Structure 1
Amino acid sequence: MDSLPDAIIQYILSHMNNARDVAICNCVSKRWKDLIPYLKSLYFPRNSFDNHNCRGSSDHIVWKMISSVDCLEDLVVYSPFSSAGLASWLLLAGSTLKHLELRLDNLAEFQACLESPSKLDCISSAKNLESLKLWGVLMITSPNWDDFQNLRNLEIVGARLEDPALSTALRACPNLTKLLLLGCEGVTSLSVELPHLEQCKLDFYGAGNSSLSLSCPKIECLEVQGCSWIRVRETECLRNLSISNNAGRVYMVDFGKLAALEYLSIRGVQWCWDAICKMLQWSSEVNHLYMKVEFTGDFDTLQPFPEVDFVDFFNNHPKLQKFDIHGAMFAALCQKNSLKNVESGFVIPCLEEVVVTVRSPLNAEQKMSTLESLLKYGKNLKAMVVRILQMKSSHSSSDDFFDEICKFRCMNRKIVRIE
């Protein structure tokens, strides 16, 4: 190592960011110590100070390491820290930081609300951030943030939020292109107006009755979980859309024409049938459709899907290449009259892969007829997966149905498989 030029050693050290490794290298030699200021990133794992027996607090040790770096761009701190410590770090490195990731751990701390300035307020010192990731956030009062004009990526994971506070935080990030809010509770109504946003993933847990309004003309990928009312009017660029509600019901969806949509996933226990129909109507150009909704019905009464005409469905989705269909929707396509309008020239032109999940042996004859029709009219079908999920085997009809599926698989073994 002594024969290597400083530039090579500097390049090697630049790939190291773990704080413990940096501290060890600092003690190797004076030459190595002199190259520490050229580091670009520092990472403090959760256990950085578990066996701490040195002088000074952990906040001060982090401050010393940050002060030894001339132009710190990336800072990741998972170890515990105070708001005063964070303020002192960002006073040193805030002007050069591009990426900041913090585990705040104040989700259940009421004391965090009384700190002045709070940890969230301190972040405003890093005015040139391009990416901000926060874990364990308590945001019930609006953070004192100036505009982060350079911020493109905002991720908040595990948070308790209040609507006004979240709205204030988003307004301070006007140029976001990526927004992730994962495992967040407390949100009842959210309006997002970000002209440059391209990717958005929102995961709200609780009663599942949140409402969302999105006005983002460049949005390309949108994932929403936990909302009952969703309005997204500017959808010209939207290519990937996923809507789910594991705890509540989806009552209303309001989208523009989804002309660019390639992938659509709708999931949940209960959707209003009008919402399902609208989503299927707007997504007529979709390539990959994933449907896993158990019931329909407008209010508390859980109802099965009404009959869906097989021919109309595929005629209205001529570009469909992959179809993941679960339980209720498959049953709707398997009703007595679903195949009554099949004409001699009917084909499913683009369908290449079908994944069917079957949970009940009821209407076995119609279900087998639908599987056979998918194979018959899907001229380009390359794979069909039939998944038998949680089917009760106490009745002889289950065994008979499974025998029929096995025969179907044997007759079409190059395409069909059972899971």
Structure 2
Amino acid sequence: MDYLPVEVIGNILSHLGAARDVVVASATCRKWREAYCKHLRTLSFNSDDWSVYRDLTTSRLEILITQTLFQTTGLQGLSILMDDVDEFSAATVIAWLMYTRETLKWLFYNVRTSPNVNILEICGRQKLEMLVLAHNSITVFEPNYQMFHCLKSLSLSYVSISALDLNLLLTACPKIEMLALVNPEIAMSDAQVIVELNSATLKSIYIEAVTLDKFILEADVLEILHIKDCALELFELIGKGTLKHFKIDDVSVIHLDVGEAVDNLETVDVSNFTIIWSKFYQMISKSSKLRRLRLWDVVFDDEDEIVDLETIAVCFPQLTHLSLSYDLRDDLRDGALLYGWQGSTSLEHVLVLELGWTVINDLFTHWVASLLQRCPNLLKLIIHGAISETKTHEECQTLANLTSSVVELMRRYIHVDVQFEYE
């Protein structure tokens, strides 16, 4: 250990991350103390890392962070996540950011201050490449105000920002590739809440807990689109066909339009969603490169509509991973399934098949068997099931019959790895 270069020790300390661990480790000897002061690259103050943070008064915690931070030089990564702490003094927080901003490449900032601290004003035009910001109010005064020339990743959670400022902020990041919006408070002067974003470099966007009238995104090179737990009247994507991964989970949307951006889709993941299958299928039908398709707990707007597996087999010939949640239409006399087994076209490239149910019944095994017949090269079968805590005798008997039937079925498919996952 005596022969380790001080720069290597600084790298070791940087991997510890948590400020308390770094300080304790730096007490090893004078050389390690020097590494902490001159060669530490990352430092994290997180209320979840050390319970003592919650027991300290706000002023004492400010002093502790200040003393620890100001002994370092050249920090590239700083994380200050204090969810359970009262408001810090804005002057103190500004001092922390001013001290580190010239060398910072990434900043995780979740600090409530009084008054509010505008991160854009302090950290703009620096080397910042990643900014994760929570519980903050954001104002952009001019389109080019404090340009983030190096920023590639931006995450905003529980922030207050106007729709105009959000677009201006995105414009002020000419190299941005990843954007995450989680439960933002978006202010609008008009009756309708409309967000219009435009980026020539954005590759990935994650939107969660957003309620808007209209969300229009123009992104020519977007590859990943993930929308979760949102209520939207209209969502429109304008792009140039670069989208590869599309995921929508527990979303209420009246009009969904991803335009001509589906030709290169590789993954479609839809869950807890009400759709008009004919329109949705028409939207993704050109995705001949599709490899993963997941339709889970999907409700159809038309009661007579079903997903035609024959059409899926024909239109998505490259499919390797298929996930379907089984649902029996009790209101139909012939016991029609949500995913019909009509047709004979094989899903030759499917290697992984995930199947599940919401309400179990004896037809489930027949449905599994029909799908296995259509996947001649299958390697893995994963069966997901929901079991109520207060199981009736009938449910227990049905589950027992299902297990026996699947075991019998697997004797004919000994090359398939079978897994059960119950909730």
Q: Which of 393, 409, 421 is the matching residue for 1:411?
A: 409
Summarize deviations over 1:358-414 as a string: whole Å, max 9, x none: 23467x65x655433322232212333343435898797995697367335413343
1:312 maps to: 311
| Whole-Å separation in 2 of the counterparts to 1:15 and 1:153 | 21
| Whole-Å separation in 1 of the counterparts to 2:17 and 2:384 | 46
Amino acid at match of 1:175: K
1:327-346 superposed matches below 5 A: 327-328=326-327, 334-335=336-337, 338=340, 342=343, 346=345
**C-alpha displacement of 1:328:** 4.6
| Whole-Å separation in 1 of the counterparts to 2:352 and 2:329 | 15
Secondary structure, counterpart of 2:195 in structure 1: strand
Secondary structure, counterpart of 1:285 in structure 2: coil
Q: Is the 8 A contact 2:275 2:300 kept in 1?
A: yes
Q: Is the 8 A contact 2:341 2:371 kept in 1?
A: no
**C-alpha displacement of 1:97:** 1.4
1:168 maps to: 168
Q: Which of 80, 86, 99 is the matching residue for 2:106?
A: 99
1:283 maps to: 287
| Whole-Å separation in 2 of the counterparts to 1:406 and 1:387 | 16
**C-alpha displacement of 1:58:** 4.5
Amino acid at match of 2:175: N
Q: Which of 189, 194, 202 is the matching residue for 1:189?
A: 194
Which runs of 5 or more residues in structure 1 are unaligned?
298-302
**C-alpha displacement of 1:52:** 5.5
| Whole-Å separation in 1 of the counterparts to 2:272 and 2:184 | 18
Query: In structure 2, do the counterparts of structure 1 residues 84 and 199 end up closer, same or farther at CA, with 3 Å as the change threshold?
Result: same
1:7-406 superposed matches below 5 A: 9-10=9-10, 12-13=12-13, 15=15, 17-21=17-21, 23=23, 33-35=33-35, 36-46=37-47, 58-59=61-62, 62-79=65-82, 81-105=88-112, 112=115, 115=116, 118-125=117-124, 127-139=126-138, 141-142=139-140, 145-186=145-186, 188-205=193-210, 208=211, 211-225=214-228, 226-228=230-232, 229-246=234-251, 248-297=252-301, 303-304=302-303, 306-328=305-327, 334-335=336-337, 338=340, 342=343, 346-360=345-359, 369-390=366-387, 403=401, 406=404
| Whole-Å separation in 2 of the counterparts to 1:403 and 1:278 | 39
Secondary structure, counterpart of 1:295 in structure 2: strand
**C-alpha displacement of 1:137:** 3.2
Query: In structure 2, do the counterparts of structure 1 residues 142 and 408 end up closer, same or farther at CA, with 3 Å as the change threshold?
Result: same
| Whole-Å separation in 2 of the counterparts to 1:125 and 1:62 | 23
Secondary structure, counterpart of 2:99 in structure 1: helix
| Whole-Å separation in 2 of the counterparts to 1:330 and 1:215 | 39
**C-alpha displacement of 1:41:** 2.6
| Whole-Å separation in 1 of the counterparts to 2:166 and 2:249 | 22
Amino acid at match of 1:385: I
Q: Is the 8 A contact 1:222 1:242 kept in 2?
A: yes
**C-alpha displacement of 1:317:** 1.7
Summarize deviations over 1:131-155 as a string: whole Å, max 9, x none: 111233344x547851101011112
Secondary structure, counterpart of 1:137 in structure 2: coil
1:300 maps to: none
Summarize deviations over 1:152-207 as a string: whole Å, max 9, x none: 111223445442332232222221111122344548433332222222211124xx
Summarize deviations over 1:328-360 as a string: whole Å, max 9, x none: 5999995599555x36xx322212222222234
Q: Is the 8 A contact 2:329 2:337 kept in 1?
A: no
Secondary structure, counterpart of 2:43 in structure 1: strand
Query: In structure 2, do the counterparts of structure 1 residues 334 and 316 end up closer, same or farther at CA, with 3 Å as the change threshold?
Result: farther
**C-alpha displacement of 1:305:** 5.5
Amino acid at match of 2:291: N
Instruction: Please give the TM-score of this superposition, normalised by the length of structure 2.
Output: 0.77
Query: In structure 2, do the counterparts of structure 1 residues 283 and 23 end up closer, same or farther at CA, with 3 Å as the change threshold?
Result: same
Q: Is the 8 A contact 2:369 2:409 kept in 1?
A: no
| Whole-Å separation in 2 of the counterparts to 1:359 and 1:57 | 52
Q: Is the 8 A contact 1:223 1:241 kept in 2?
A: yes
Which runs of 5 or more residues in structure 2 are unaligned?
188-192
Query: In structure 2, do the counterparts of structure 1 residues 240 and 10 end up closer, same or farther at CA, with 3 Å as the change threshold?
Result: closer
Amino acid at match of 1:252: L
Summarize deviations over 1:40-97 as a string: whole Å, max 9, x none: 233223257556699x865455445444333222222224633222222233322221
**C-alpha displacement of 1:102:** 1.2
Aligned residues: 396
| Whole-Å separation in 1 of the counterparts to 2:163 and 2:245 | 26
**Identity across aligned pairs (percent)?**
18
| Whole-Å separation in 2 of the counterparts to 1:70 and 1:129 | 16
| Whole-Å separation in 1 of the counterparts to 2:350 and 2:30 | 66
